[in-house]
Structure 1
Amino acid sequence: MQIKFVRKVKAKDMIKEFEKKYGSLEKLKRYLERNPDDYVALMDYDDWVHFLANPEIEIEEGEVIVSDISFLTPQKLQILEAVKKYKPKSIRELADKVKRDVKNVYMDLKDLEKAGLVELHDSGRAKRVELKYNEILITI
């Protein structure tokens, strides 16, 4: 059984990711001149050029991250659903929504973060949770 996570990303957000990864399109171009066999960088370059020409398009990315469905307990799925539905501003607010102890919710969030499903961002004294994917597809 496999679990595929799908996220929808605007081209302008992908451009920001490329800038973070490579610095600039020119730096990536120079890198490719020295490393023409780096096919990932070559595909990133082609995508970057395409996204610059079409900054408002939205793309769908999918990747298989978890092959063991037991990782996603009902409590973790409930957390993911609550984050999507309520967009809580803190872990405490999220814990209130799922009616669970803050410490237990935090521990589940750390597991979800390690698996690459969520990101935790500092927001003053609180931590804000952001989903990295829009869909979860389970293949049996």
Structure 2
Amino acid sequence: MRFLVQRVSDSSVEINGEVVGQIGKGFMVLIGVCDSDTKEIADKMVRKMLGLRIFEDEQGKTNLSLDTVGGQLLLISQFTLYANCKKGNRPSFIEAGEPGMAEEMYEYIIARCKEQVEVVERGQFGADMKVSLTNDGPFTIILDSEQL
């Protein structure tokens, strides 16, 4: 499982010209799932993401977590996080999770986050989405379950 976490001052996702999710200060997270992922792995990833202390304190040090600053979440499914570009110039996505299982994991992650974060917005699994954000910092972290 892979999460690309971006600290944002604002972010939104649009489908067919309609905004379906929008947040202020918080994390915009792209979520990639592979076939070997489990709910236990998802729980570990959510804990790690929500525990990240990447917001600045009074001294300007990245020392505060999402809950400390009252941050919000925008969660977007993103199978392309499993792109394999080793051969040629056209990426292969065979490492990405089977759509039915990946969607189930995405919904599970959203539910787990809603248990702990007041504002959790989302995209739509499998949709053609337009994501906008103001990356604050910029600050971007890649979480990979194989490295945790």
Query: TM-score normalized by structure 2?
Result: 0.29
Higher-helix-fraction structure: 1
